[in-house]
Structure 1
Amino acid sequence: MGPDARVVVIGVGNEFRRDDGVGRVVAARLLRRVEKGSLPPHTVVSACDGDPARLIGLWEGARLVVVVDAAHARPATAGRIHRIELDAERLGQASSTSSHGLGLGEAVDLARVLGRLPEHLVVYAVEGSDASMGTGLTAAVAGVVEPLADAVEGEILRHRAAWAGGGR
């Protein structure tokens, strides 16, 4: 595939559960960058609740998929970002990092069985501290939104440059 291969960014979460909405907030920032033309053509940005079937439908046919989601760890360090990178050979071994009951791990497992895995999957999981009802991110999580959007943009540009140079 050439440098015009389809790239999909999926912000996962529930914007009415405080920090759980971080994926959607980052996706909204990236969508504005697509509209301004600072992200390459063929970049699709979507939001999703984490349902495995919806995730698979969104990433179908993509060469690169970047998922941004909230993660709940004990003890949590609000705003800490975890980056997990999986290529097609390792995708079947992924475990769930999602804060949802059914989520990314299940979507990867199901997509593997159905033969609908992306070639490359990168997950950015952000530790949150508040998943209570309400809108708005806590200060610690809100503070990583822009740097995380920058990291996702850099991820896309690096992969596209590698594709253009014949890599991956």
Structure 2
Amino acid sequence: MDVSAALPPAVVIGVGNDHRRDDGVGWAVVAGLARRRNPALLPHRTRLTCTDGDPAGLMSAWEGVRLAVVVDAAHAHPARPGRIHRLRLDGDLPPAPRGGAGTHGFPLGDTIRLARALDRLPGELLVYAVEAADTGFGTGLSPRVATAVEPLVRRIEEDLARQAPAGP
């Protein structure tokens, strides 16, 4: 019996802080998915949640799911605000986008390595990193990052639809 078939299908985790401008992009994507809740594209058992990037919180959020989709802001040099990086992590961790790093004190890659060491990874992990322009204090996304939210919502809906089990 395939154990992963018994797991809840998915969780989408927005990582960040919506009081640090573009660092709130993960939360904005989760909010976009929550507003749409298209049953044809977003399986009804998919959980949506947000976290500040705390390793224990992330591991708890993706515990017991077949697919975890993590959305986070990233810094890259040179920056191309709004550019989306898609990383499927099912083996060794690839390097961060060139010059890239998360916007949190404990990098996402380190959390993934810790989860692997503790045997607390989800069945499959998909990370979307959105290049940020401004992570200073304040609310609201910069224009180029805000423009990336809706296309990323649609892309995640497509990822989730592909993961949905066939049949009634």
State the 4+ residue runs in structure 1 displaced beyond 6 angstroms. none
Residue 25 (str. 1) matches residue 33 (str. 2)? no
Equivalence map 1:110-129=2 (5 Å): 110-129=114-133
Q: Which runs of 5+ in 2 are unaligned?
A: none
CA distance in 1, matches of 2:156, 2:71: 9
Contact between 1:51 and 1:103, CA under 8 Å: does it hold in 2? Answer: no
- The aligned counterpart of 2:53 is 50
Contact between 1:94 and 1:105, CA under 8 Å: does it hold in 2? Answer: no
Match of 1:72 among 72, 75, 79: 75
In structure 2, the CA distance between the partners of 1:4 and 1:40, relative to structure 1 (3 Å rule), is: farther
Q: Name the SS for the 1:85 alignment partner.
A: strand
Q: Deviations over 1:6-65 (max 9, x none)?
A: 30000001101111110000011112233x535112100000100111000000001000
CA distance in 1, matches of 2:19, 2:166: 40
- The aligned counterpart of 1:8 is 11
Residue 37 (str. 1) matches residue 39 (str. 2)? yes
Report the AA paired with residue 61 of structure 1. G
- The aligned counterpart of 2:102 is 98
In structure 2, the CA distance between the partners of 1:37 and 1:158, relative to structure 1 (3 Å rule), is: closer
Report the alpha carbon displacement of residue 153 of structure 1 after superposing the two structures with TM.
0.6
In structure 2, the CA distance between the partners of 1:26 and 1:103, relative to structure 1 (3 Å rule), is: same
Q: Among the aligned pairs, what percent are the same residue?
A: 52
Report the AA paired with residue 37 of structure 1. P
Over the aligned positions, Cα root-mean-square deviation in angstroms equals: 1.9
CA distance in 1, matches of 2:80, 2:153: 19
Q: Deviations over 1:57-87 (max 9, x none)?
A: 0000010000010000111011000000112
Report the alpha carbon displacement of residue 158 of structure 1 after superposing the two structures with TM.
1.2
CA distance in 2, matches of 1:148, 1:21: 14
In structure 2, the CA distance between the partners of 1:149 and 1:63, relative to structure 1 (3 Å rule), is: same
CA distance in 1, matches of 2:143, 2:153: 16
Q: Deviations over 1:86-131 (max 9, x none)?
A: 12xx1x5355652212032122111111111111111110001111
Residue 147 (str. 1) matches residue 151 (str. 2)? yes
In structure 2, the CA distance between the partners of 1:95 and 1:49, relative to structure 1 (3 Å rule), is: farther
Q: Name the SS for the 2:17 alignment partner.
A: coil
Give the total of aligned pairs.
Answer: 159
Please report the TM-score for the alignment, with normalisation by the length of structure 1. 0.87
CA distance in 1, matches of 2:36, 2:80: 28
Contact between 1:10 and 1:48, CA under 8 Å: does it hold in 2? Answer: yes
